[in-house]
Structure 1
Amino acid sequence: MEEKFAYIEGAEQPISMHPKKFALWLFIVTVVMIFASLTSAYIVRQAEGNWLEFDLPDIFYYTSGIIVLSSITLHFAYISAKKDDLPKLRLGMGLTAVLAIVFLIGQWYSWIALVDRDVFFVGNPAGSFLYVFTGLHGLHLVSGVIFLIIVLISSFRYKVHSQSMDTMEMCVTYWHFLGGLWLYLFMFLLLNH
C-alpha cells in the first residue's frame, strides 16, 4: 500500500503554459512561416532573372542599430520589473517605446530613399519584395509598439511587478522576436539583393 502512495506522490505534473503565452507562440510561429515563405519566394523569383540591382538605403543600418538598442532598453525594463524597481521599469519601457517609434519613422524614410533611387512597389519584383518585407514587418512592429505602450501604462497602474510578470514576459518575447526578425530580413537582403 505504501508503494502505491509513493508512486502517486512521485507523479509528474503536466507541463502547462499560460494560455495567452501559448497563443503568442502560435502567432510567432505563424509569422515565421510567412516570412520564411516570402524569403523563399524572393530567392526563387530572383533566379528567374529580370531583377533590379540596387543598394539598400543606408537608413537600414541605423534602424537596425535602433532595434538592437530597443531590445537592450526593454531587457533593462524587464530586469527592473523583476526587482520591483518601478521608476527604472517605466524609464526602460518609455525609452523602448520611443525607440520603437523612431524605428518606424526610419522605415518610412527608407521608403522615401527607395523612391529617390527609382525603386517602386510596382515595376520590378526586387522593389516589390523589399516593400512587402519592410511593410509587413512594420505592420507587426505597430502591434509591438501598441503592446509596449500597454505595458508602460500598466506599469504606472502598478500592474507590472515581480509578482505579476506575464504581460511583461509576453511583451519582451514579442519585441525580441520582432527585433530578431528585422535583423534576419536585413541580413537576408544584404546577402541576396
Structure 2
Amino acid sequence: MGSSLIFLAALLAIGIWWLSRQGLMSKPWLEQGVVAEAPFPRDFTSSAARMGLGVFLAVVGSLFALLISAYAIRMQVSDWRDVPLPKVLWLNTGMLILSSAALQSAWNAARKAEEDALMVGLFAAGVAALAFLSGQLLAWRQLTADGYFLTSNAANAFFYMLTGIHGLHLLGGLVALSRTIALAWRGAQPERVRLSVGLCATYWHFLLIVWFILLSVLTAWVGIALDICRQLLT
C-alpha cells in the first residue's frame, strides 16, 4: 500500500504543477478587456484540449495506482515468486527516455517555428517508441521461453498485465503522434501543430514517469526504500 500512496502523491503533485503551468485554473470569463483583441475561441479550444488530457491522465494514473495496490497486497501471499526481469528492459527504458526527450525537442522546435527540427524530433520520438514496444515484446518472449507463463504464477500475471497495459497506452499515443506528424507534414497552422505536439509531449512524459514507477515496483526498489525508511524512523 505504501508504494501506491507514493504513486498517487507523485501524480497529484505533477498534476497540480502541470495545471498551473498550463493556466487551466484561470477564469477567462471574469477577465476584462476588448473582445475583439481576445482570441477566445482558439484559447478556449487549447484549454479544453489540455483539460481533457489532464482528466484522462488522472484516470490512467488512478488505474495504475489500483493495479500497484493489488500488486503490493498479492505479493504478501506465500505462493508469490518474483519474476526475473529480462535485461532488455533496461534498453527499453533508454528508448522510452529518448522518445520523451525527442518529443520535448520537437515541442521546443514547434514553439520556435523550426520546421526541420520539428519533423526530426517527431520522427525520432516515433521510432524510439516503436523500439520500446518491440523490446517489450522481446522481453515477453524471453520470459515465456524460460517457462514464466502468464498462468504459472501470480507474479507472472502481474508482470504481463502491468507492462501490457502500459504498452497499450503508449500504442494509443503513437496513433495520436502519427496524426501530429501528418499535421506537421501537411504544413498545418503553427498554433495547431504546437498544441498537438505539446499534448503528445505531456502524454509521453507521463508514461515515462509511470514506467519508472512500474520498474521500481517490479524490481522491489520501492519496498527496499520503505524498509530503510521504517528502520531509520524506528
TM-score, normalised by the number of residues in structure 1: 0.88
Q: What's the offset of the Cα at 1:20?
A: 2.0
Measure, in 1, the Cα distance between the counterparts of 2:201 and 2:182. 15
Which structure has more relative contact order (CA 8 Å, sep 6+)? It is: 1
Q: Name the residue aligned to 2:17.
A: none
The amino acid of 1:172's aligned partner reads A
The correspondence for 1:159, drawn from 177, 188, 192, is 188
Q: Name the residue aligned to 1:122.
A: 151
Given that 2:88 and 2:135 are in contact with CA atoms closer than 8 Å, whether structure 1 keeps it comes out as: yes
The amino acid of 2:31's aligned partner reads Q
The correspondence for 2:142, drawn from 110, 113, 137, is 113
Percent identity for Structure 1 against Structure 2: 31
- Give unmatched runs, 5+ long, in structure 2: 1-28, 33-43, 224-234
1:81 and 2:110 correspond:
yes
In structure 2, relative to structure 1, the CA distance for the partners of 1:113 and 1:164 (3 Å cut) is closer
Q: Name the residue aligned to 1:93.
A: 122
Q: CA RMSD in A?
A: 2.0
In structure 2, relative to structure 1, the CA distance for the partners of 1:114 and 1:163 (3 Å cut) is closer
In structure 2, relative to structure 1, the CA distance for the partners of 1:136 and 1:163 (3 Å cut) is closer
TM-score, normalised by the number of residues in structure 2: 0.73
State the Cα deviation string for residues 29-86 of structure 1 (Å, max 9, x = none). Answer: 1110110010110110010220113310111100001101111111111111111000
Q: Name the residue aligned to 1:13.
A: 31
Given that 1:80 and 1:86 are in contact with CA atoms closer than 8 Å, whether structure 2 keeps it comes out as: yes
Measure, in 2, the Cα distance between the counterparts of 1:138 and 1:53. 21
Within 5 Å, which residues of 2 pair with 1:62-77? 62-77=91-106
Describe the SS at the equivalent of 1:18: helix
| Structure 1 runs, 4 residues or longer, greater than 4 Å off | none
Q: How many residue pairs align between the two structures? A: 182
State the Cα deviation string for residues 113-156 of structure 1 (Å, max 9, x = none). Answer: 11122111112100000000011011101011111111111111
- Give unmatched runs, 5+ long, in structure 1: 1-10
Q: Name the residue aligned to 1:5.
A: none
